[in-house]
Structure 1
Amino acid sequence: MTLYTLRVILFPNPPFFEGDREVWREIHIDDSHTLEDLHNAIFEAFDRWDQHLYEFDTYNEYELPTRAYVHPSQYEGGPSWPPMNEDEIDRMLDQMSMDNPPEGAIEYFREARADPPPEGNVADTTIQDLDLEEGGAMYYLFDFGDNWEHRIEVREVNDGSLEGPPRVVAEHGEAPDQYPDPEDMND
């Protein structure tokens, strides 16, 4: 078995969280756990109390999305994102700010947009299925209305397993309230 140390970094989310401080949690998880297990660990680690839809997205070395893994209630087995035709892809590339993109990035983008990979179901996808490497990253979006975005960095990959569910092993910064008091947001 393989044991992972993942650092989950909360991105700024004005007006809920201005990002004036760094907030992250490190979680131990082994390769037998699912993305749903990881969601539950993140949910608890950031002191959330009201469940919402969520999604995990994997990215490649070009920082381009490779696949979306969705909440079981949203899973249909279709593409990770809507396919695009050549004109749509060209328009999107024109709008992107990619100065001197790495060789292969544009080609990958065109192929992935024209023929997207199938979406994954978080309940059926194990950490092992993701083939994570130390130094790699993926993204997690919680609550499609308030859009709490997180970057998940793979800090360590070691031999080992974990008894029980994934657990927080380190934390930095106080998690913002899931639903801040509206009066506090106007200060």
Structure 2
Amino acid sequence: MARRIFHLLVTLSDVAPPVWRRVQVPGGYTLDRVHRVIQHAMGWQDCHLHSFEINGAQYGEPDPDGELLLRDELEIRLDSVVAKGARFRYTYDFGDWWEHDVVVEEVGPPEPDVRYPLCSDGASACPPEDVGGAFGYAEFLAVVADPADPRHAEMVATVGTRFDPVAFDAGRVTTLLRRLT
């Protein structure tokens, strides 16, 4: 079977401004590699557990204690569980519960002389880790935008620099993704 490239639209649920990425990945990638692509593309730091829900099945890193019933993502290729038009969920950080809607927009042959994975488009900065999910992120944005808020200095200090919620650079993301290969 010829190598196929999957064009994925990854959208972080329930946040404003909208955070989304368009990434292109080889269909032969295991779900573990797709996880790493999403982490880099979105801007997460891979500090928490994650899972995929595809066609009613849960995939992720197997739980040694058996509390989470996840199929091993290292054993499942993307092209074996989804096709063009498929939708699935990727959840990151079971405490903050960041849900990502993923749509397979296109499946096709690789472009000549193009290295994959790559990020072709996107919008907005990823929320900082551990801000409390979508609700906490909305509160975080309100506090960092208001220097009069008593929590302002503390919240700004958590991100280390001025946080721009609409900042996004597809070229930088592609550079990060190239480190995966």
Instruction: With the length of structure 1 as denominator, give the TM-score of the two structures.
Output: 0.62
Say which SS state the counterpart of residue 36 (structure 1) adopts.
helix
Contact preservation (8 Å) 2:4, 2:108: yes
Shift of residue 20 of structure 1? 2.4
Aligned to 2:125: 174
* Alignment pair present for 1:138 and 2:140: no
User: Which amino acid counterpart does residue 170 of structure 1 have in structure 2?
Assistant: D
Moved over 4 A (4+): 75-80, 161-165
Instruction: With the length of structure 2 as denominator, give the TM-score of the two structures.
Output: 0.64
How do 1:93-108 and structure 2 match up within 5 A? none
For residues 94-145 of structure 1, give each alpha carbon's deviation from its aligned partner in whole angstroms, at most 9, with x where no partner exists.
xxxxxxxxxxxxxxxxxxxxxxxxx421111111221x22221010001111
Aligned to 1:160: 110
Q: Indicate the RMSD between aligned Cα atoms, in angstroms.
A: 3.0
1: CA distance, partners of 2:127 / 2:100: 13
User: Which amino acid counterpart does residue 11 of structure 2 have in structure 1?
Assistant: I
Aligned to 2:37: 41
2: CA distance, partners of 1:129 / 1:32: 8
**Higher RCO structure (Cα 8 Å, ≥6 apart):** 1
More helix by share: 2
Say which SS state the counterpart of residue 75 (structure 2) adopts.
coil
Contact preservation (8 Å) 1:26, 1:171: yes
- The alpha-carbon distance between structure 1 residues 47 and 39, as it changes in their structure 2 partners (threshold 3 A), is same
User: Which amino acid counterpart does residue 126 of structure 1 have in structure 2?
Assistant: R
Shift of residue 21 of structure 1? 1.8
Shift of residue 52 of structure 1? 1.2
1: CA distance, partners of 2:57 / 2:103: 17
Q: How much identity, in percent, do the aligned residues show? A: 24
Q: Which runs of 5+ in 2 are unaligned?
A: 144-181
Aligned to 2:140: 184
Say which SS state the counterpart of residue 175 (structure 1) adopts.
coil
* Alignment pair present for 1:67 and 2:57: yes
For residues 135-172 of structure 1, give each alpha carbon's deviation from its aligned partner in whole angstroms, at most 9, with x where no partner exists.
21010001111111000001111123897663322112
